Structure 1
Amino acid sequence: MKHRGRHRRRRRGAALRAVLAGTALALTAAATVISASQAHVTGDPGALRPLSSPADTGPLRLQEHLVRARSLNRLSAAMGRPVGVAAVLKRTDRGMREGDDCSADDRASLPVAPAATRAYCWDPADAASTAWRPASVTASGDTDDGVRGRHRVVLTGWTHSTTGRPAERGLARVALVDADDPAHLTYRWVLLVVPVQGGRDYRGLTSGISGMVRHQNKLLVTTSTGSADALYVYDLDRIQRTTIDGPAIGRVRGGWSADGYRYVMPAVGSYRFTSGRCTASGPPCPGALALDRGTAPDSLVAAEWTPPGSDRTARLWRYAFSTDPARRGLLATDSAGRVDAVEAYRTRAAGIRGVLPYRQAGTDEPSWYVGHLPSSRDGHGSLWRQDSKGARAVHCGADASRRCWARAAGSLSYRRETGEVWSLSDRMLFSLPLAALDRSLE
């Protein structure tokens, strides 16, 4: 039976490659008929402009706010001993289908070029909903050996729209995906919450999480546009079980509820801009996050969200992670708990949904992959590689359209030990080699 299972996985893998290749050809053909008015919306964002003056870097300063250990311990004492990622993955209750088993519309959301080498669509129970949308991803390559406990893990962040049941509006959840077997991915939902009343209760995190990074045992996520909080911090070793299957979120008579979710993850801290809420002239609204393990120490990179097609310039910047063993996964701060950007740039790219720093062999200057939405917000976006000299994008179709990236693409995450870049469209989770991405821009 095991040999037959392996043969089936090989056939499925071969079929997936054939389907993805066919999809890429079909989408390339479709791209040839994209009108000139559509093609020009992804104009060249040009070279990155370094920012170094205090007037430019000052608005990027953060203030750290950690939840008191006493509050977290009080919540744990009331809910029961926290569990980690491995305990959740033992009880996954959703399955993902490989690309050849997904619908044509699912596959049409994948990049035109370069083509994905692995792709998965979500469980029908989640794919059928239009209220929840995926936007962020972080792969298990964000740990030293690529393995979290005994599992290779991919985490994706989803946000609920402002429509539908009032109890769900604006909530944020994370899919913990067990990627041990590439032919059989499974996952389970964890609802993100925030402790209140000194750990005697919790509320749902009502925020878009367009960016997400896992470093050490921490998960950092962006907060909604307009919030003074730039990031929320979660501890992957502090996942709590709920005891009541009901629509409420928080403490209820007889136990703990989370709108039907079996697990919740309470925030352990946040980072807030010292100069207030994000504005066009002040602090940026963080949109995409990524981890850069090519710096010393590791660093968190971020991209500013501006509307697609906007004339506003956006900022790209980075913060250093702490090297203090007592502050695993947290950003480096000064004695007053403040965090300053260690590098910053301006770009003319707008509608940025993904960012990933990259250093080509033999060069000291980093390049930045920047994925963004078209101004019309319809169809596929574009992916550029920018540095201080200029920008390059993948071209596809006879009219050299640059709308070659995934449809409504989310964030980017690099798994170093396999050389893969993970991302997601509005319908699928996918990966491709970084080398293929780099070659497509030559």
Structure 2
Amino acid sequence: MKHRGRHRRRRRGAALRAVLAGTALALTAVATLISASQATVAENPGALKPLASRADTGSLRLREHRVPARTLNRLATSMGRPVGVDAVLRSADRTLREGAECASEDRETLPVAPAATRAYCWDRADTATTAWQPASVTTSGDADDDGVWGSHRVLLTGWTHNTATGPAAERGLARVAFVDADDPDRPAYRWVLLVVPVEGGRDYRGLASGVSGMVWYQDKLLVTTTTGSADALYVYDLDRIQRTTVDEPAIGRVPGGWSADGYQYVMPAVGSYRFAAGRCGASGPPCPAGLSLDRGTVPDSLVAAEWTAPGSDRHARLWRYAFSKDPARGGLLATDAAGRVDPVEAYRTRASGIRGVLSYRRAGATVPSWYVGHLSESAGGHGGMWRQDTKGAKAARCGSDASRHCWAESAGTLSYWQETGEVWSLSDRMLFAVPLAALDRSLG
């Protein structure tokens, strides 16, 4: 485990900004993409409505469930000593390409305004088909406030297999790209498959879930689960990554060792948070879509947004849970004596189709602003980006008609890297960053 005091790296704010920000990419060509054929301008989601009564917030309550230590230890004894992030990065076998090297159809998925100052496309082997879709991003800037994990700057992105295509054994699985961002000109990455221990640690199964949101905090990775599940979040330990020993399509224990559909590494879940009120959905608790970390609260908090379909009349909720301050519970949410987790703040918004959410207190503000990125109602169209608070909402605008469809196509979650002042996100084809200051300027 990385203990925050013992492994604290000195602040390298100016140097890190220079390394990660880079020269702004010439991506203005995407401004021509917004046209009359796109979906109608989204309605203003208006001011956030605070939710304070138990009737409004009771459905957000979670219960913590930990995988027994003996289960994890049994699995580690069978598979071999767990490894950490450094081992995965050392074995990186694929490379991200900078925006200028990417195909025009990839670059066209980037935001129109504000323009990305750093953008990358994936190895062609990972985008040759649409079987796997990226949707979430978190960074070592979330993991530790110095922005460094061990000796590396790291980006993690979550991908889910499209259940309608590809080999049946892969459908619905979730994987994470571990990106070594030390060299901003040529980031390299390696895949890790997310799994869940079963049979008391004698085996594991693939996590069949849509990872629409995730946050790396201290040594834990929290990821969202599939809509309609009683599990709201799964919890993974970055110091409990296991190597596989057999290269077969099967997932789990096989004759001669351990397999994971060809992946060299798996990360077994160490716990989950389940809705106390049952399965999420239209008649139950809100299904979380986007997640992010807010370091501006005391203690730090996990921010979540409810999933509703683009154009839906159902008003989504935004809320936050506090992280535990107990050193023995590093990276876990704060619970009461019964293992329950209640939201510490909640709102309702008229926005729909929310994929990205970020809470940040701007200079001079008394309360945080909520940045909400949502999908277009038309397939393949650019989405919108709004900044909301309890007084109103403002949208990024672009083009001669001041369209509000300025954000990325099929945009994923948002992650603020405190040391560089950048917001990281991704489209279905590109990984990119924009300065938070530029995002604010685009929002007026």
Q: TM-score, normalised by structure 1?
A: 0.94
8 Å contact kept, 2:161–2:174: yes
* CA drift at 1:281: 4.1
Corresponding position of 2:101: 101
* CA drift at 1:201: 0.3
Structure 1 alignment gaps of length 5 or more: 1-8
Q: Deviations over 1:80-131 (max 9, x none)?
A: 0000000110110000100111000111110000000000000111121210
Q: Is 1:202 matched with 2:178?
A: no
Q: Is 1:156 matched with 2:153?
A: no
Within the candidate set 383, 386, 389, 1:387 is matched to 389
Q: What SS does the aligned partner of 1:177 have? A: strand
Within the candidate set 318, 323, 334, 1:332 is matched to 334
Which residue identity lines up with residue 29 of structure 1 in the other structure? T
Q: What SS does the aligned partner of 1:167 have? A: helix
Percent of paired sites with the same residue: 74
User: What is the 5 A alignment of 1:253-402?
Assistant: 253-402=255-404
Corresponding position of 2:48: 48
Corresponding position of 1:61: 61
8 Å contact kept, 1:217–1:235: yes
State the alpha-carbon separation in 1 of the partners of residues 94 and 215 from structure 2. Answer: 23
* CA drift at 1:39: 3.2
State the alpha-carbon separation in 2 of the partners of residues 102 and 363 from structure 1. Answer: 39
8 Å contact kept, 2:30–2:110: no
* CA drift at 1:358: 1.4
8 Å contact kept, 2:310–2:352: yes
Q: Deviations over 1:346-404 (max 9, x none)?
A: 00100000000011211111110000011223311000000001110011111111000
* CA drift at 1:43: 1.4
Which residue identity lines up with residue 27 of structure 1 in the other structure? V
Q: Which runs of 4+ in 1 moved over 3 A?
A: none
Corresponding position of 1:4: none
Corresponding position of 1:29: 32
8 Å contact kept, 1:39–1:401: no
State the alpha-carbon separation in 2 of the partners of residues 377 and 161 from structure 1. Answer: 16
State the alpha-carbon separation in 2 of the partners of residues 237 and 170 from structure 1. Answer: 25
Q: Deviations over 1:54-95 (max 9, x none)?
A: 000100000000000000000000000000000110110000
State the alpha-carbon separation in 1 of the partners of residues 302 and 397 from structure 2. Answer: 29
State the alpha-carbon separation in 2 of the partners of residues 259 and 312 from structure 1. Answer: 39
State the alpha-carbon separation in 2 of the partners of residues 119 and 199 from structure 1. Answer: 40
8 Å contact kept, 1:89–1:176: yes
Structure 2 alignment gaps of length 5 or more: 1-17
Corresponding position of 2:39: 38
Corresponding position of 1:193: 195
Q: Is 1:127 matched with 2:96?
A: no
8 Å contact kept, 2:122–2:429: yes
State the alpha-carbon separation in 2 of the partners of residues 112 and 225 from structure 1. Answer: 30
Q: Deviations over 1:318-363 (max 9, x none)?
A: 0000011110000000000000000000001000000000112111
State the alpha-carbon separation in 2 of the partners of residues 322 and 251 from structure 1. Answer: 35
User: What is the 5 A alignment of 1:431-442?
Assistant: 431-442=433-444
8 Å contact kept, 2:158–2:175: yes
State the alpha-carbon separation in 1 of the partners of residues 39 and 222 from structure 2. Answer: 35
* CA drift at 1:282: 2.8
Corresponding position of 1:222: 224
The aligned length equals 423
Q: Is 1:245 matched with 2:264?
A: no
State the alpha-carbon separation in 2 of the partners of residues 68 and 392 from structure 1. Answer: 47
Q: Deviations over 1:2-53 (max 9, x none)?
A: xxxxxxx99xx66xx4xx43x32x332332x325x7232x211111000000
State the alpha-carbon separation in 2 of the partners of residues 300 and 371 from structure 1. Answer: 17
Corresponding position of 1:233: 235
State the alpha-carbon separation in 2 of the partners of residues 128 and 426 from structure 1. Answer: 12
CA-based RMSD of the aligned residues comes to: 1.3
State the alpha-carbon separation in 2 of the partners of residues 111 and 218 from structure 1. Answer: 30
